[in-house]
Copies of this chain bind each other. A is one copy, B any other.
Amino acid sequence: MHEATLTIGQLAERSGVAPSALRYYERLGLIRAERTGGNQRRYARTELRRVAFIRISQQVGVSLEEIREALDSLPSGRTPTPDDWAALSRAWRERLDERIRLLGKLRDDLDGCIGCGCLSLQRCTLYNPGDVLAAEGAGARLMLPRPGADRA
C-alpha cells in the first residue's frame, strides 16, 4: 500500500468524492488517469489536488465547465506548482467577493423590507433586475437569470 498511484476507490475515499463522480469528472476532462494492463484507472497523487480544487470551486459557485477551463489553463508538461494553484484560486476570489456582496445586499434589503413589509415588486430594491445574482453556475439556476436570458 501507499503506492505512487491511487485506485479510483482510494481517490474516492481520500477526496470524499464518489467513484461515479470521479468517472464523470474524467469524462468532462477535469481529471486524468493512467490505465493498468487490465484497463483500471490509476491516479497520480497530484490528481488529489485537482479534485480538491474542483470541490472548492464548486463551493465558490463555479460550474464544472468553467472549472474545466480553469484547469486547462494550468501549465501542461510540468506538474503545477503551489503558485499555479494560487493563481487559479485568486481567479475565483473575485467571484466569491461578488457573491458575498450581493448576498449582503440581499440581506440589507430584506431587513429594509422586513421593516416596511412591502415586498413590492415595483418599489422594492429587492426586485431590481440588473442587480440580480446572475447565472453563478450550478445546476438549475439558483440565482435568477431573467427568463430567457440564456437564449438572448
Contacts and interface: CB of A to CB of B under 8 A. Distances in A.
**Residue from the set A59, A92, A99 with the largest chain B CB neighbour count within 10 Å:** A59
Nearest to A17: B147
Interface in A26-49: 48-49
Task: Specify how many copies of this chain sit in the oligomer.
Answer: 2
Interface in A116-143: 116-122, 124, 126-127, 129, 132-133, 137-143
A144 B85 contact: no
A137 to B, nearest CB: 8
Contact of A118 (B82, B104, B114): B82
Given A16-B129, A89-B119, A137-B142, 16 more contacts: A49-B121, A52-B119, A52-B127, A55-B127, A58-B143, A58-B144, A59-B133, A61-B142, A85-B113, A89-B114, A90-B114, A96-B103, A97-B107, A100-B103, A100-B107, A138-B138
